[in-house]
Each structure stands twice: as structure tokens, then as C-alpha cells.
């Protein structure tokens, strides 16, 4: 197993350190899990959101906790011994093969909703109770078996949430104008929360099973400069 920092993360670190970009929020780092070995350091946030496990059997994104580390004044760097997270299976086993570390991400992974009851083609809105979205947040919609997306929306395409209320939102391509939904679609659909940044990933040689009631612990050592998050140790 080898943890690979993504190309996106390396570009982000360079921009933050040398072009005075904004570092990611330390409380918006999450571990995510995917049952695939097809992700790589070039995978996009959309690729990860599509591949991420469904929120069943106890799956949820796990907050990556920064443990206490040491400050190196001479190197102008803060070294974290570990960044830790855990995941517990409930109801049935969970299977995964890749662990992803993401930043500037929503705590939610994905949410199921019903086309017949939750899509309004007149108001161009989708209703999901307490969806937790912010205006301009990246999202995508996927279908469950024997379902179809509302007309006007494409599968595996990143959109932006627009005109949000506590329980409703609209879908936009440009972040300014809502997409006109001409038909509500059918069946069970899934809202997926797309992270802003993929920090990196670790792929196991074989699929891993978490038995019911068992917990999987994960940790990663990283370092940061005084300006930004930096390289793996």
C-alpha cells in the first residue's frame, strides 16, 4: 500500500505557498472510501464522488482528525504525527479497496431521494430535508437501478447548488441560472456531494471487508509549512 498525493493537491499546495492562495480549512478534511482500484493521482473530485460508497450499512465520510504534532522553527514547518479517522459497519459488511483523503469537503457523502415526490419541474427544485448544501457547492446526481434523471440533467456531471433553502435547492451549470427541469425523472436518485480538493489516496491490493460491529482505523502522517499544507512523511 502506498499513499499517493493527487496532482490536484500538489498544484494546490504550490499555489498556496508561492502565490498566496488560501489554505484549506482544517475542519473540512475527510476520509472517504471507494470499492474500486480504478482511482489514481489524476482522478478528479467528480471521479471520487461517483466512486464513493453509498451511505448504507453505516458508511459515512470520516472526519480526519489532526493529532498534536511538533513545530520546527528552523524548517518553518509543523509536523503532524498522524491524521486519523475510523469507519464502523452496521447492518451488513462494508467492502472497500481505496481510501481517499479530501479537503474543503462536505461532511456528507451522498443522499437518496425520490424523483416522484422530491423533484418539482415547475419550480425547478429538488427537496431533501436538511440537505446541508451551500450556494455554489459542487454536486452531481446519479441513478439507482431502474431509475432515470430529471430531463435537463446529465449523469456523472458536476453542477452547482443554487438558491438553497433548508430543504430545497436548484441545480445550475454556471452557478447563476437554474437548469430548467422539463420532466421529473423516475425512481430513486442520489445526490452526491463533490469535494473541492482530492488530497490523495491509498489503494489496497485486495478488497477489504469491515464486519458488522467492527471498526476500521486509518491514519496518515503529513507535514505543513507555515503557509500551507505540504508533503507526506
Q: What are the pLDDT digits (tens) for 118-162?
A: 999 999 999 999 999 999 999 999 999 999 999 999 988 999 999
User: With the C-alpha atoms ordered 159, 163, 164, 170, is the resulting torsion angle positive or negative?
Assistant: negative
Higher per-residue confidence, 219 vs 163 = 163
Position 1 confidence tier, pLDDT thresholds 50, 70, 90 = low
- Report yes or no: 36 and 52 within 8 Å, Cβ to Cβ: no
pLDDT of residue 224: 45
Rounded CA-CA distance 78/230 in Å is: 10
Per-residue pLDDT, 86: 85
Query: Quick one: pLDDT at residue 229?
Result: 45
Strand-strand pairing, 168-172 and 125-127: antiparallel
Say how far apart CA 141 and CA 126 lie, in whole Å: 11
Measured from the Cβ of residue 81, the count of other Cβ atoms closer than 10 Å reads 14
The percent of residues above 90 in pLDDT, for the chain, comes to: 67
| Contact assessment for residue 130 and residue 139, using Cβ atoms and an 8 Å cutoff | no
Mean of per-residue pLDDT scores for the chain: 88
Could you give the CA distance from residue 112 to residue 128 in angstroms, rounded to a whole number? 8
In whole angstroms, give the CA distance from residue 124 to residue 126. 7
pLDDT band at 56 (very low <50, low <70, confident <90, very high): very high
**Can you give the pTM of this predicted structure?**
0.87
pLDDT of residue 27: 87
175: alpha, beta or left, given left = phi > 0 and alpha = psi -120 to 50? left
In this prediction, residue 21 carries a pLDDT of: 79
* Reported confidence tier of residue 13, pLDDT bands at 50, 70, 90: confident
The domains found in the chain, sorted by start residue, are 3-105+196-232 (no CATH), 110-193 (2.40.30)
Amino acid at each position: 500500500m502506498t499513499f499517493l498525493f493527487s496532482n490536484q493537491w500538489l498544484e494546490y499546495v504550490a499555489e498556496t505557498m508561492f502565490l498566496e492562495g488560501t489554505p484549506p480549512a482544517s475542519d473540512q478534511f475527510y476520509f472517504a472510501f471507494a470499492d474500486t482500484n480504478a482511482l489514481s493521482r489524476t482522478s478528479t473530485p467528480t471521479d471520487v464522488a461517483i466512486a464513493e460508497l453509498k451511505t448504507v450499512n453505516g458508511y459515512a465520510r470520516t472526519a480526519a482528525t489532526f493529532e498534536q504534532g511538533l513545530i520546527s522553527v528552523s524548517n518553518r514547518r509543523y509536523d503532524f504525527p498522524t491524521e486519523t479517522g475510523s469507519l464502523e459497519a452496521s447492518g451488513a459488511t462494508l467492502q472497500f479497496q481505496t481510501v481517499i483523503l479530501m479537503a474543503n469537503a462536505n461532511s456528507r457523502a451522498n443522499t437518496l431521494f425520490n424523483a416522484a415526490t422530491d423533484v418539482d419541474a415547475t419550480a425547478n427544485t429538488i427537496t431533501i430535508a436538511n440537505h446541508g448544501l451551500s450556494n455554489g457547492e459542487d454536486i452531481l446526481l446519479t441513478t439507482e437501478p431502474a431509475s432515470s434523471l430529471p430531463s435537463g440533467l446529465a449523469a456523472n456531471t458536476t453542477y452547482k447548488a443554487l438558491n438553497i433553502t433548508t430543504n430545497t435547492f436548484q441545480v445550475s451549470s454556471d452557478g447563476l441560472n437554474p437548469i430548467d427541469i422539463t420532466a421529473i425523472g423516475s425512481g430513486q436518485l442520489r445526490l452526491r456531494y463533490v469535494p473541492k480538493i482530492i488530497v490523495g489516496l491509498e489503494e489496497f491490493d485486495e478488497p477489504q471487508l469491515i464486519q458488522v460491529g467492527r471498526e476500521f482505523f486509518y491514519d496518515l502522517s503529513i507535514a505543513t509549512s507555515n503557509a500551507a499544507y505540504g508533503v507526506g512523511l
